[in-house]
Amino acid sequence: LTLELGGKSPYIVFDDADLDSAIEGLVDAIWFNQGQVCCAGSRLLVQEGIADRFYAKLRRRMDGLRIGDPLDKCIDIGAVVDPVQLQTITEMVAGAAGETYHARIPLPERGCFCPPTLITGLSPCGRWMQEEIFGPVLVGTTFRTPSEAVQLANNTRYGLAATVWSENLNLALDVAPKLAAGVVWVNATNLFDAAAGFGGVRESGFGREGGWEGLLAYTQPKTRTRPLKKIDAVPAPADASGDGLDRTAKLYIGGKQARPDGGYSRPVWSARAKLLGHMPLGNRKDIRNAVEAARGAAAWARSTGHLRAQILYYVGENLSARADEFASRIRDLTGATLNTARAEVETCISRLFTYAAWADKYDGAARGVPLRGIALAMNEPVGVIGAFAPDDAPLLGLVSVMAPAIAMGNRCVLVASEPYPLAATDFYQVLETSDVPAGVVNILTGVHAELAPHLAGHMDVDAVWSFSSSEMSGVIEREAAANIKRTWVNNARGRDWTGAAGEGREFLAAATEVKTIWVPYGE
């Protein structure tokens, strides 16, 4: 499934832009198809120093537009789709709090015609700046600095397209990656080609149309899968005793060990009926705290691939130094042989090194598009990824989900294996000594089916992965629909985490969004 949905696309004009060209581009951006285009540049952000001059030029250009029968090739603007939409547009314009300017052009006597309209002086959080009007209505405001322009542009729940006008290419290419949009046009608008991906982020949808990335959503690797079977925790033996040291593990939130909000835990028994400790039972508040910590680690997304690679190498080296300890823990938890447990730890180390190598090599491409310019397909992190680790591989499953996500610059809220959680609570000791910034990796434990609705429904989570053996794929997909977040769920199919199916480009693609930046060149 791919979803290309609505948008409230920003059209940013800096004070060094070619104003006449920017206005012609704006005419195409907002009044093409009467503004009934998902990627219409309906939010004008113009730098304060040139705002009055730009608005004057724009009003003069609006007065020169021709409205009428769209079958007439001399006509610029036709009718909107139906009377209901015309009434919606009219009511929204009538209720606008700012200064409204209608183009001074005659309207046909019959038909659903709406004049080109400019509304200025609106609050950035107002309805007209936030909601898609889907008509020939442009709303505008001003900004002072490039950082303020980015802040205003991203102040929406949508993220389909954006336009940047500046003769300073350094400025344009500095701003473009900071915009929450799947497509950014520099000194142009409405450029499309089958070779370049088109699509959005946030509530503008997910997936891409066009480009190699446009094929990914409709393909899947040829791998053998097996039916998933629910793995339950080892039950307490009949002669269980409360003697001995009561060790209760902690959650790992914001780089610190934290007690669960509810204060509850459950015992974890080994396959040999030995009490190994207690697993904290996370709840909705713990998820909220973990997501908040992940959001606070946004600088990780801006770090270099080289830095992320070095930290992943460091994690792998520190895990290697404690390999025997982790192998013993896995053996006690699962009842596997020591050799099998050692093999799992060695695969974890190998996987960390693999994704460390990928961190600065899973890069973008320049698409061959038919214009004097280039379309850059840039891989960007998805954001905050919530993930339920597989139950059958207590350490390897956690590492296999975590490593590709943070290698690509994401922050994680990981829910450890439900029956064998203590391998994960041991692993955060490795993270603490490996220079992983606080909030980049957060580890919770608890009942997957209880945590799934809260993690999938959290509005600050950008994607949810589930490889759990619990039957909760439907719950995750349903809850994730609230803000159109991406989901990657097992749908009752398991995978061999020790083999090729447990790593590779499939994970890297799930951990990235492709942003297409169109850069025409030439005077």
- Given a contact cutoff of 8 angstroms between Cβ atoms, the answer to whether 127 and 33 are in contact is no
β 384-388/463-466 pair status: parallel
Report the pLDDT value the prediction gives residue 217, as an integer from 0 to 100.
82
Say how far apart CA 185 and CA 207 lie, in whole Å: 19
What average pLDDT does the segment 67-94 reach? Answer: 91
**436 close to 410: Cβ distance less than 8 angstroms:** no
Give 151's contacts (C-beta < 8 A, 6+ positions apart).
none
DSSP class per residue in 351-397: HHHHHHHHTTTS--EEE--SSSEEEEEEEEE-SEEEEE--SSSTTHH
pLDDT for 244 equals 52
Query: How confident is the model at residue 228, as a pLDDT?
Result: 81
pLDDT per position as a tens digit, 383-432:
999 999 999 899 999 999 999 999 999 999 999 999 999 999 999 999 99
Q: Which residue in this structure is represented by tokens 């909107």?
A: 80
CA 501/CA 518 separation, integer angstroms: 35
Say if CB 493 and CB 212 are below 8 A apart.
no
**Calpha distance 478→504 (Å, rounded):** 28
Of the ranges 15-19, 95-99, 113-117, 181-185, which one carries the lowest mean pLDDT score? 95-99
Q: Which one, of 51, 140, 61, lies nearest residue 103 by Cα? A: 61
Q: What is the pLDDT of residue 478?
A: 95
Question: Does residue 96 have a pLDDT over 90?
Answer: no
**Considering the entire predicted model, what is its pTM?**
0.90
Do the beta carbons of residue 389 and residue 292 sit within 8 Å?
Answer: no
Q: Please list the alpha-helical segments (H only) found in 157-271.
A: 169-175, 213-216
In this predicted structure, the answer to whether residue 19 has a pLDDT above a threshold of 90 is yes
Q: What is the arithmetic mean of pLDDT over 20-44?
A: 92
Mean pLDDT of the chain: 91
Determine the pLDDT at residue 453: 96
Q: Element (H or E) spanning 62, and its range? A: helix 51-62
The DSSP symbol for 201 reads S
434, 408 contact by CB (below 8 A):
no
pLDDT of 127? 87
**DSSP assignment letter at 67:** B
Q: Tell me the sheet residues that pair with 45.
A: 12, 141
Q: E-strand spans in 254-364?
A: 256-258, 265-269, 275-280
Is the CB of residue 404 less than 8 Å from the CB of residue 355? yes
Q: Does residue 240 carry a pLDDT above 80? A: no
Asked if residue 41 has pLDDT above 70, the reply is yes
Q: For residue 436, with 0-12 CB atoms within 10 Å meaning exposed, 13-18 middle and 19 or more buried, which class applies?
A: buried
What pLDDT is recorded for position 239? 65
| Average pLDDT value for residue range 5-20 | 94
The predicted-structure confidence for 308-364, as pLDDT tens digits, reads as follows: 999 999 999 999 999 999 999 999 888 889 999 999 999 999 999 999 999 999 988
pLDDT in tens, 141-199: 999 999 999 999 999 999 999 999 999 999 999 999 999 999 999 999 999 999 999 99
